[in-house]
Copies of this chain bind each other. A is one copy, B any other.
Amino acid sequence: MSRRRELIVSIGRLESCFKEKFGTPRQPQLAPSSKAKLRIRAEFIPEQSLKGLGEFSHVWLLSYFHLNTNKAFLSTVHPPRLKGKTVGVFASRSPHRPSPIGLSLARLERVEGDTLYLSGVDLVDGTPIIDVKPYLPSYDAASGARAGWTESVEHEAFEVVFEPKAREQLERLAREGRGDLTSLISEVLRQDLRNPRDKSQRAPGKTLEFFVHDWDVFFRVEAGRAIVSAVEPAQEYKKARRPPLEL
């Protein structure tokens, strides 16, 4: 057996505003208003191991794609933006890869005690983080880089509109000091969340939902617009659908 398996460990689980895969941005920085928290486990002595990290503005999060369900290795993937065409898995950032490790650049808002406060994340709540590294602009950025097939895909962005009921709900939340979700929802829905190969999701006028923070957002896609119809407290979701935080 030539395939050698190596061990990594979770240093903490991300608490993210994105509660399910559906509604989680496919890349970081697409939703700058997104928030997450990472508490480093006590065994990794955060009062020492985080020393100096707070002076960096960005960090790399190396994560374990714990929600992957397929077991077989697939050598090619269908990036949603390529509409049916395939590329090799190593020419993509698909989560379905031999070592299911994600690489996300996140903004580090601050460090408090054992906890990193982050924004601009593309990771779902509960994701195990296996490493945090400081972003070093001198070594981590390439000038004039060619970005292959990603350069030729169209970046269509939906116009995001809120129906009166949704707008009223969001205004009430903001008034009650429970957060301004309008920016975050707009950033998320600017991208097409739907799976290009899922016909039921793509039926015209079909109402879909996703979860941010403690809220359930209902929307539909019509003629290049994402229309938000309602924002409701996610009571049922929190009870029934949230994956357990500790495996």
Interface positions of A (Cβ within 8 A of B): 2-11, 27-29, 40-41, 43-45, 48-58, 60, 62, 64, 73, 75-76, 86-93, 97-101, 103, 105, 107, 128, 130-142, 144-150, 246-247
Contact = CB atoms under 8 A, between A and B. Distances in A.
The copy count of this chain in the complex is 2
Contacts of A247: 4
A156 to B, nearest CB: 15
Most chain B CB neighbours (cut-off 10 Å) among A41, A54, A91, A97: A91
A131 B45 CA distance: 28
Given A9-B98, A49-B88, A141-B141, 5 more contacts: A45-B73, A49-B89, A50-B90, A60-B103, A140-B141
A11 B98 contact: yes
Nearest to A53: B91
A95 to B, nearest CB: 11
Contacts of A139: 27-29, 105
A91 B60 CA distance: 11
A146 B57 contact: yes
11 contacts: A3-B9, A4-B128, A27-B136, A43-B73, A44-B75, A44-B98, A48-B75, A51-B86, A52-B87, A58-B145, A137-B147
